[in-house]
């Protein structure tokens, strides 16, 4: 999400998510594909593994599950309100307000990076750059787990949770090509339909990848 740039209605994406707040967790906090991805990831990480959660939201379910598995979790999100919620919900993890497009890890690469739906309110070029940046933060032998709403979509105006926003995405094939070009080996990928209460059904794309040791 973009920190300072306005989306429809004159608000920045950070302001949109400041307003959505805990309602996001109520609607999207139990996505079956995301929970399965977290199970897959935590099964492969040793206690103390350093993990970056990009677009950490309220801290649930991702940061909470990772911290419960004994990982040292850092979460970043553009929304100050989301960061405050995450700090209260998952005190075992560390959260900061930051934009994936400009964030620079202070302590080198991570044993795993996860990205659950944070890239949609960007343009396609920014999405591609963000994927390359996140892949570069994965240490040798480490893992990258991605979830998004797929499609060759450019600057589509929608209403989402009561807010007018402009969204973009990439097709599954484009995601796979970019991650491969960034040096990651895709272990598994699939799509699944999610039907959140009170929101239009969404197709989700999940991708699990690894950087060779």
pLDDT tens-place values along the chain, 213 residues long: 323 343 444 467 787 777 776 777 777 878 999 999 999 999 999 999 999 999 999 999 999 999 999 999 999 999 999 999 999 999 999 999 999 999 999 888 999 999 999 999 899 999 999 999 999 999 999 999 999 999 999 999 888 778 788 889 999 999 999 999 999 999 999 999 998 877 778 999 999 999 999
The CA–CA distances, whole Å, from 120 to 124, 125, 155, 181 equal 9, 12, 10, 21
Buried b (16+ CB within 10 A) or exposed e, 41-54: bbebbeeebbbbbb
How far out from the chain centre does Cα 92 lie? 19
Q: pTM for this structure?
A: 0.91
Is the previous residue joined to 61 through a cis bond, with omega within 30 degrees of 0? yes
């Amino acid at each position: 999400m973009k920190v300072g740039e306005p989306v429809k209605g004159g608000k920045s994406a950070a302001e949109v998510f400041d307003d959505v707040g805990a309602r996001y967790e109520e609607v999207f906090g139990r996505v079956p594909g995301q929970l399965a991805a977290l199970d897959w990831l935590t099964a492969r990480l040793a206690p103390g593994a350093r993990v970056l959660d990009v677009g950490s939201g309220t801290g649930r379910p991702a940061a909470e599950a990772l911290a419960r598995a004994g990982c040292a979790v850092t979460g970043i999100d553009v929304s100050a309100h989301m960061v405050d919620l995450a700090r209260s919900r998952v005190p075992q993890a560390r959260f900061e307000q930051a934009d994936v497009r400009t964030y620079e890890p202070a302590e080198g690469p991570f044993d795993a990076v996860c990205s659950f739906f944070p890239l949609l309110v960007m343009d396609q070029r920014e999405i591609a750059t963000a994927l390359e940046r996140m892949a570069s933060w994965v240490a040798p032998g480490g893992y990258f787990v991605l979830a998004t709403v797929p499609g060759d979509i450019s600057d589509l105006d929608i209403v989402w949770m009561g807010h007018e926003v402009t969204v973009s995405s990439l097709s599954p094939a484009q995601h796979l090509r970019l991650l491969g070009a960034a040096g990651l080996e895709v272990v598994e990928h699939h799509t699944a339909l999610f039907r959140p209460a009170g929101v239009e059904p969404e197709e989700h794309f999940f991708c699990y990848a690894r950087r060779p040791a």
